[in-house]
Structures are given as C-alpha cells and as structure tokens.
Structure 1
C-alpha cells in the first residue's frame, strides 16, 4: 500500500518526490530549542565563569615553571583577584559565553531534532539507548562546529602575566587570526578528538536526565512529558551531570592540554603518555574539584533556564 509522504509543510502532492531523510529531519527543527539552549548556556557562564577559569588553570597545570602555583581553589581566585581584579576573574569570558551559549544552543537544537526524527511515526517512547545515540550524534555535530571557539577560549584564559615565552592574545578576533596564521586550520581544531569523546559525556547526561524525568513521572502516575517544578529539574540535572562527569572527566584534561599554547604535544596519545609518566592517574583528574563546583551549578542553571524558556517559547508559538 502506498502511503502519502509528509514534509514540513504537510502532505506532498503526487507531483513531488517523497521526503528524504534530511527533509524529514528539517521538519523537526525548532528554533525555540536553539534559543532556549543558548539562553541557558549564556546565563550559567556569566554567573560562574571565575570557577571555570580556575578549573582550566588546574587542568593545564603540568609543572611548567611559567605557570602560577596555586594551593587550592580559593588561593587561585585570590591570586587572580590581587593581580588583575574582577577583570582577571573574567578573563576569557566573551569566548566562554560564545562557546557555552553556542554549544548548548546547537546541542539541544540538534538533539531534539534527531530525537523527534527517530520517534516519528512511533507510538512508543525512545529507549535509553536511543536517547544516548541521539545525544552522541548531536554532540559530534556541535563539536565540529564549535571547536575553534573552545580553542580561543582556552588560549585567552591560559595567559599568565608576565609570560614573554608565548604569544599574547588580545581578544577573540586577534586570537583567531594568530592561531590560524601560525598553526592553520589544525590549530583551530586542537583537542577535537577528545572533544568527540566528550560527546559521550553530554549524551550520558541527557540520557540520564531523560530517564530520571520519565521514571519520576511514572512513579507519580503522570504523563512522561509532564512539566516539573524548578527544584525537580535542578535535582535531575545535577544527578545526571555527576553520573556523566564521573565517567568521562579525564578527556577534559587531555583536551585542555592539547589546546594550551604553552606546551607542545604530538596528539592525544602523547598527552596521555606524558601525563601518566609525569603525574600518574591523579594527573587525569586535575581540576576535578573546581570542575564539580562550577559545572554542577552551571548545569542546573542551564537546564532550568532551558526548560522554562522552551516552555515559554513553545507556548507563544501555539
């Protein structure tokens, strides 16, 4: 039996070609998801950037003499404040906002489109594995688009004063031009391989988040898409992030060290080998405490803003 193919604007006439996979995927694209994810990433970054700065400095700390030595999170914050004041604590905030906002926006944009495409025509909900696969696919697309922004962010944050041994950067455009001029396109894609591995963190997080919401609503005998309270969203976002981060944190250390301008590595294997040889297993978890302190609140803020903005925008579009 022939079925009538359906496209973004409704049933197609007999004089049209059947909708292909890309056309079907585009029919599920919602700009509301992009706007909501971007909003969540921007708000959380503006609130918690100083802790992200601390995390990156600890993650990059590999014993080089030019790097400042910190005894802990508060010592790092105090040292940066004494040297450069509030401006120092927000060093690299513009590319951080661009990176986090763009990444969260695109990630949730792609994720929801892929998830809706996968579920099209089905009466049953997606399984945990299908949520995981959707998250990985969305993460790979996002990482490919946004990796240069993360390189720029890392270079700007990992500038130490004085540091005559390396190039100095004076903003996003200057960093982009200098990295491209001296290192070409490969320079803008430093850390791309561990970033692809990092897509599993986002996918694990979203899979856990979706399953927690579904099981919680099922326990309360509510529809699986039932709207929750802000505290419930925050709790589930925090639990999902902790689970995902515990499984995948070392990739972030490898990624930061590849993107840093103060040391030269030939690739991922070289970073892993040298980190293990010089610092042992602990080296792969440097910065994990400030990461937990910064990322968990950031994740909670991002998800609560995302959920509320999505509800508002989708409500407005109806």
Structure 2
C-alpha cells in the first residue's frame, strides 16, 4: 500500500509541475506557434521577429491573445505532466536495480525518459492540435473556420476530419517527446547531481535558509538548462508538427521529415528553427518553474528522492 501511495504522490507532484509550466510559459508558446505557422509558408514571413509578433498580438488581441488555447493546455499539460513525471519516476525506480550509488546512469535515465515521453505523446497530440489552431487564428478568420474555444475546435476537427484528424502530427509529437525528454532528463539529472555535489561541500553553510535557497537555485538552474536542451534538440520536429497540425491542406504529408524537407526548401535552415527565440526564452523560466514545483510538491507530499 505504501508503494502505491508513493506512486500516487508522484503523479500529483507531476500535475503541479504541469500547471506551473503553463502559467509561466504559455505566452511564449503562443508567439512560437504563430512564427512557426506563418513564417514557413511559400508567401514569405508574416512577422519580422518574436518582438514584432508579440506586439501585433497585444495590439490586435490584448493580453488574452497571448493565452489563447491556454485552457486546453492547463488540462492537457496537467494530465500529461502527471503521467510523464510519475511514469518517469516509477520506471527509474524499477531500472535502478544494482545502481545504488546515488549517481545518475544513462542506461536508467534514457529508457525511462524516452518511454515516458512516448506515452504522453498520445495525450499531447490532440491537446496541442487544438491549442495550435486556436493560437494561429487572429481576430479574423484565417483558415476557413472560426473556433470559439478549444472544445469547439476539437468538435469541428472531429466533424470535418474524423478521429484521424484530431491526431494529426502524432508521429512528429512522438519523435519530439521520446528524443527530447531523454535529452531533458539526462541534462537535469547530471546537472542536479554535479550542483549538489559542489554546494553540499563543507565550504558552504548548512543553515536551513541556505539549504532552501540552494534547493530552489538548483531546481531553477537544472530545470531551465534542461528545458533549453530539450528544445535545441527537437525544435525542427516541433516546426514540422505545427505545420502538419495547422496547415489547411488535408492532403499535406504527415511524415515530419518530409514536411521538414519542404520547409527547408521554402525557408532554409531558419525556417526549420522558426520560433527559436521565444522557444528558448520560454524554455528556461517555464521548465525552471516546472522542476521547482515538482521537487517541492514531492517534499510536501513526503516523497524521498536522492
């Protein structure tokens, strides 16, 4: 029963991490999606840069424009983060086996993170599709159908494209999450281990205030750096996913590598990395918030970690 209770707590801590991530990161994500959807077309760039895109959103739609699709993100990412962090923690414990030295091990981290990432891609695909379609539409109708809410978007997508339509971009999401989260957790586990080793040495204070500040600081740095590593490694796959999910052409290929090749021919390497600025600007604070929320929720819930 105790093991089941600890597992449930891991899922609750993961949900807290997801909520924190959306609150901090959604406005940056809106800018990223608009750049990816509108700056990779054959008609040329709509926005000069991330600042221009943000200014246009605020001018035309106000602050609410930056949080378009956020309701589906809150629901989707809370469930996704709960499953992701919970499954990662459980898989890591199972694979830890003979590795009881407290050090991170690639042969434990990579399969745990990749499997967890692949699992949550099934949830992320439909929630990100509705989020992206909400984000790319402005005040005027841009792609033929006006969506009043994420639910309206999901219903209309199902009506016009069927179940297959709501899972557009699934393969790109699967690759992004499996590869990206292996990179994320390798970076997180190793950076956290090295920072703790350095700051736990006798030269530093052991007061409760220092310990709390140290834990928060390590959470911020390890989470932020890991988030940037994730997106640096997988942004081209994310560009392909956004194009697949938001392009009005129902016959567009769903093969992410074929779509990336098309984007490269249209917009070069900069097209494959469209939205890099706001993505990295979002990655540090959003993932720092997620990791701090995850670690502190675990402490409050009494979960013991190395």
Pick aligned residue for 1:280 from 241, 248, 268:
268
In structure 2, the residue matched to 1:259 is 245
User: Deviation of residue 28 (structure 1)?
Assistant: 8.5
Pick aligned residue for 1:193 from 171, 178, 196:
171
Q: Which piece of structure 1 moves more, 29-38 or 153-162?
A: 29-38
In structure 1, the residue matched to 2:114 is 136
Secondary structure of 2:114's counterpart equals helix
CA distance in 1, matches of 2:68, 2:169: 21
Change (3 A) 1:84 1:147: same
Q: More relative contact order in 1 or in 2 (CA 8 Å, sep 6+)?
A: 2
Post-superposition Cα deviations, 1:65-91, rounded to whole Å, max 9, x if no partner, equal: 6x9822222222221122122222221
Does 1:93 pair with 2:70? yes
CA distance in 2, matches of 1:28, 1:277: 52
Residues 77-92 of structure 1 aligned to structure 2 (within 5 Å): 77-92=54-69
Does 1:206 pair with 2:185? yes
Post-superposition Cα deviations, 1:62-120, rounded to whole Å, max 9, x if no partner, equal: 2366x982222222222112212222222111112223222222110110011111125
Change (3 A) 1:64 1:165: farther
CA contact (8 A) 2:9 2:301 kept: yes
In structure 2, the residue matched to 1:53 is 30
CA distance in 2, matches of 1:151, 1:230: 33
Secondary structure of 1:32's counterpart equals helix
User: Deviation of residue 150 (structure 1)?
Assistant: 1.3
CA contact (8 A) 1:136 1:202 kept: yes
Residues 13-52 of structure 1 aligned to structure 2 (within 5 Å): 30-52=7-29
CA distance in 1, matches of 2:67, 2:14: 22
User: Deviation of residue 124 (structure 1)?
Assistant: 4.4
User: Normalised by the size of structure 1, how large is the TM-score?
Assistant: 0.82
In structure 1, the residue matched to 2:236 is 250
Structure 2's unaligned 5+ residue stretches are 202-210
Does 1:69 pair with 2:46? yes
CA distance in 2, matches of 1:132, 1:170: 40
CA contact (8 A) 1:102 1:146 kept: no
Superposition RMSD in Å: 2.6
Change (3 A) 1:86 1:209: same
Q: Which has the higher helix share?
A: 2
CA distance in 2, matches of 1:40, 1:90: 18
Instruction: Name the larger-Rg structure.
Output: 1
In structure 1, the residue matched to 2:154 is 176
In structure 2, the residue matched to 1:239 is 225
User: Deviation of residue 54 (structure 1)?
Assistant: 0.4
Secondary structure of 2:139's counterpart equals coil
